[in-house]
Amino acid sequence: MRNKVIKWCKAAGIRAIRTMAQTAIAMIGTAAVMNSVDWNLVISASVLSGILSLLTSIAGLPELK
């Protein structure tokens, strides 16, 4: 059981980090076009996307059997 929890935490963490990075890239790219990057907005949106990713992972991760 402990091994399954460790695998889930690792997979969910990797997925959340990737989601946060994708959100940050999208926010920075969009803001750069408008010539003003609001770093507080980028960070808060990225953290929120990471939290939502972890909550979504509770439903199940396709990479884990």
In the chain (65 residues long), the average pLDDT of successive 10-residue segments reads: 90 95 93 83 96 91 76
Angle at alpha carbon of residue 15, lines to 52 and 46, rounded to 5°: 50
Q: What is the pLDDT of residue 54?
A: 94
Residue with tokens 């907005």: 41
This prediction has a pTM of: 0.84
The pLDDT of residue 61 is 80
Say if CB 62 and CB 12 are below 8 A apart. no
